[in-house]
Amino acid sequence: MTTTNEELAYDFLDVVEQAAIACAHTMGLGDRHRSDRVAVEAMRARLDHVPIDGRIVIGEGERDKAPMLYIGERVGQGANGAEGLPEIDIAVDPLEGTNLCATGAPRAIAVLAASERGGLLHAPDIYMQKLVVGAQSKNAVNLDAPVAHNLKQIARCLDRGVEDLVVVVLDRKRHESLIDEIRETGARIRLIGDGDLTAAIGAAVVGSGIHAVMGSGGAPEGVLAAAAMRCLGGEIFARLIIDTPEKEARAKSMGIDEPRRIYTSADLASGRQLVFAATGVTEGALMKGVRFFGEGCRTSSVVMQTSPHRVQFIDTIHVKEQAGRRGLRF
């Protein structure tokens, strides 16, 4: 991804836009599997057009469990025989927050990250303990430090009181004691039903109203969050939760030699040339959801790269063929 890096970023933007538009049609239908399936199909179809020799490193699962976007699947024009294309590794979450989309709840997104080959960790689909903070606090926290210490440090870095902080935590039984510890500090909490990746992006953007994300979620989404952090300057501190010999063996078989160490974004997404693209499916603070208006639809996305280093918020109006004669009403 050298000379064509910028063009590829727009290709990847198109891929996440199409995935978001497809599953946004299923918003509120109460069928998360269907929402996920249409996002996967749309993403897969659009990836076919991208001029890369692509390989899925994080996707919908192992080959025997996922018909499309499975780990190891070749995608892009290279998969259809085109030669001489850049070799790119791809991590996808076609619909982050399937339940959010199925219920019409906010902050579902379609996501893709890409790197030159070898630049994204092959994370097993297990839980990962995570601490995500923005650029200002990243040198002052430690995944193994007590929650109260980290929150005090974040508050100091952000020049405010601990009670002024907002920490996002997935609303899960396994987080009961974490939530108690945060409450004891006086910090504010936003419990979310799903979507810790969306929250992680927020933690790295000043003004989003999120100052940290804590707790455990999916490891694959941790790698996607790491790619976003590399672009945004925030940081993720993470450790795989390996509580059975099977998980240990799985991690090892995926090339992870030190499964119990603390990873940062540079370990999880080590690529020199990273691209991260996400489009809002349902309403969110950073990205609006997809809005349909008869003649087409409007999407709100972020597309970011490490080289050249830039972050773009992109608002796209997609006009249906034949439409536009009456003028667009959006």
Tell me the C-alpha distance between 126 and 238, whole Å.
Answer: 12
- In the complex, least distance from residue 202 CB atom to ligand VTB, rounded to whole angstroms: 13
Give the count of residues interacting with ligand VTB (CB under 6 A).
Answer: 11
**Contact flags string 12-51 toward ligand VTB, x per CB under 6 A:** ----------------------------------------
Interaction of residue 190 with ligand VTB, rule CB under 6 A: no
- How far from chain centre, in Å, is Cα 205? 14
Q: Closest CB to ligand VTB among 124 and 195?
A: 195
Among 14, 36, 60, 221, binds ligand VTB (CB under 6 A): 221
Interaction of residue 117 with ligand VTB, rule CB under 6 A: no
Among 11, 53, 60, 196, binds ligand VTB (CB under 6 A): 196
**Contact flags string 300-319 toward ligand VTB, x per CB under 6 A:** --------------------
Among 76, 134, 195, 259, binds ligand VTB (CB under 6 A): 195
143 class by beta-carbon count within 10 Å (0-12 exposed, 13-18 middle, 19+ buried): middle
Question: Is the CA virtual torsion 305, 308, 311, 313 positive or negative?
Answer: negative
Footprint (CB under 6 A) of ligand VTB, residues 153-172: 170, 172
Tokens describing residue 319: 């006009």
Tell me the C-alpha distance between 79 and 67, whole Å.
Answer: 15
Q: Closest CB to ligand VTB among 154 and 200?
A: 200
Q: Which residue is nearest to ligand VTB (CB)?
A: 217
DSSP 271-316: -SS-EEEEEESS--SSSPPPEE-SSEEEEEEEEEEETTEEEEEEEE
Cis peptide before 308 (omega within 30 of 0): yes
Which one of 19-27, 66-74, 108-116, 194-202 is the stretch in contact with ligand VTB (CB under 6 A)? 194-202
Among 218, 271, 289, 296, binds ligand VTB (CB under 6 A): 218
How many Cβ atoms are within 10 Å of 81's Cβ, its own excluded? 6
Report how far apart, in Å, the C-alpha atoms of 68 and of each of 45, 91, 316 are: 10, 13, 27
Tokens describing residue 172: 């899960």
Footprint (CB under 6 A) of ligand VTB, residues 170-189: 170, 172
Which one of 58-66, 101-109, 203-211, 216-224 is the stretch in contact with ligand VTB (CB under 6 A)? 216-224
Q: Closest CB to ligand VTB among 6 and 246?
A: 246
Tokens 């992870």 identify what position? 256
CB 13 within 8 A of CB 315: no
**Contact flags string 56-95 toward ligand VTB, x per CB under 6 A:** ----------------------------------------
How many Cβ atoms are within 10 Å of 264's Cβ, its own excluded? 18
**Helix boundaries (H) for the chain:** 5-24, 32-47, 98-103, 147-157, 176-185, 196-203, 219-232, 245-253, 265-268
Among 94, 202, 217, 296, binds ligand VTB (CB under 6 A): 217
Interaction of residue 250 with ligand VTB, rule CB under 6 A: no
The residues that touch ligand VTB, with contacts defined as CB under 6 A, are 96-97, 170, 172, 194-197, 217-218, 221
